[in-house]
Each structure stands twice: as C-alpha cells, then as structure tokens.
C-alpha cells in the first residue's frame, strides 16, 4: 500500500527544493552568498532540456525533480539581477565553461535522440557547475549548501517514482544526486574534516 504513494514523494521533493532555494535567495539579499551567474544561468537551461527529452521518451513523475533542477536556478538567476551586487563576478575561465556548456547543448540540438539529448544536457550542466565548484573550493564562505542539500533530497525522490529503469528515467537524477553531493562536501569540507590533520 505504501509503495502506491511513493511516486508522489517527488512533490515533497519539489517543495523542499523551493524551500532550499528560498533560503539561498534570502542569503543573497543579506549578502552572505554570491552566486556565480554563469553556473546558475546554464543550470536553469540544461535541466529543462533534460526534462523535455525524458518526457518525449516516456518519463512521467520521475522527471519533476529534473524540472525543479532548472526552475530553482532560474529563480536564483532572476534574484541576482534584482538584488544589487548579489553575485560573484565571473572570470574568463567561467565564460570558457559557459561556452563548453552551450556547445554541449548545440551538439544535442544537432541530434534527434532523447538519450543523446539527456547525455549532452548532463554534460552542459556539468560544465556549468565548474565555476561554482571552483569558487566553493577556494571561497566556501561565498556559498550556502542549502539549495544543494535540498536538491539532493529532490533528486533522490526521482527514484521513488521510476516505473521503468531506463536511461531516460534515471540518468539525469543520478547525475544530479552526485553533483549535489559533490557541492555539499566541497562547501562543508572544512567542517567535515576539521578534526583531521591536513
């Protein structure tokens, strides 16, 4: 009986994702975090493409967390333009990652396969993450783990809603799970390993 309701966990995941991004935007307004616009812009594009490709290949509820992985960054991006100076100034390397990310999207557009669309949208999202991964490594105080912890929970709810375990249904959620774990560990690494000798 409980298994009948498990797929609906994706809605709880969506709410948690919105709450996490709400905390992040609040911290932006306070000046406590400085998002890298290159990452957040491209994070808002690639998951939407992954969502469309997964739906075209028959995915259902399990694609909601992927959609939220694009919608929540879009909210951050919009807030970064409304809140003065609430963003990290991008360097040349950041734009290079952005170009690679866009190239991955163009390569997807040149094909006509949902699997290739998802693969390239994951590659695009990964390239887009590099500036934020590097910034979080060097300046962890400029980032908050809240949206990534919420994103981790949200992406995990995908697996409760999967009907058929195939590439289109699980590839992007697996990627999102691993990426969110990486970001959380990088941001919290000093607290996690503070009792260990360096």
**pTM for the full predicted model:** 0.79
The model's confidence at residue 89, banded by pLDDT at 50, 70 and 90, is low
The model's confidence at residue 186, banded by pLDDT at 50, 70 and 90, is very high
Rounded Cα distance, 74 and 42, in Å: 9
CA angle, 179 then 184 then 188, to 5°: 150
> Which of 134, 138, 142 minimizes the C-alpha distance to 31?
142
Q: Residue 186, class by beta-carbon neighbours within 10 Å (0-12 exposed, 13-18 middle, 19+ buried)?
A: buried
Tell me if residue 36 falls in helix, strand or coil.
Answer: strand
Do the beta carbons of residue 155 and residue 198 sit within 8 Å? no
Rounded Cα distance, 29 and 13, in Å: 24
State the maximum Cα–Cα separation within the chain, in Å, rounded to a whole number.
54
Is residue 2 scored above 90 in pLDDT?
no
Rounded Cα distance, 91 and 106, in Å: 23
> Which of 104, 20, 133, 25 minimizes the C-alpha distance to 68?
20
Q: Which residue blocks in 44-166 are alpha helix, DSSP H? A: 46-56, 64-82, 92-109, 114-138, 146-161
Rounded Cα distance, 127 and 68, in Å: 19
What local confidence, expressed as pLDDT, does residue 38 receive? 80
Summarize pLDDT for 7-37 with one digit per residue, the tens: 778 899 999 999 999 999 999 888 888 888 8
Average pLDDT over residues 36-58: 80
Q: Which one is predicted more confidently, 142 or 192?
A: 142
Percent of residues, the chain, with pLDDT higher than 90: 24
The residue behind tokens 């396969």 is: 113
């Amino acid at each position: 009986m409980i298994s009948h309701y498990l797929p609906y966990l994706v809605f709880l995941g969506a709410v948690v994702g919105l709450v996490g991004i709400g905390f992040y935007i609040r911290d932006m307004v306070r000046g406590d975090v400085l998002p890298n616009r290159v990452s957040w812009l491209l994070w808002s594009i690639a998951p939407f493409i992954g969502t469309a490709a997964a739906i075209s290949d028959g995915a259902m509820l399990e694609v909601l967390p992927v959609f939220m992985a694009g919608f929540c960054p879009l909210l951050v991006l919009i807030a970064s333009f409304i809140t003065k100076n609430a963003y990290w100034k991008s360097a040349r390397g950041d734009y290079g990652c952005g170009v690679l990310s866009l190239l991955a999207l163009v390569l997807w557009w040149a094909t006509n396969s949902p699997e290739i669309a998802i693969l390239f949208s994951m590659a695009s999202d990964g390239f887009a993450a590099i500036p934020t991964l590097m910034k979080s490594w060097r300046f962890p105080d400029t980032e908050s783990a809240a949206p990534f912890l919420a994103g981790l929970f949200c992406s995990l709810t995908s697996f409760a809603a999967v009907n058929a375990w195939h590439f289109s249904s699980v590839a992007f959620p697996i990627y999102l799970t691993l990426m969110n774990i990486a970001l959380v560990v990088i941001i919290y690494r000093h607290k996690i390993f503070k009792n260990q000798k360096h």
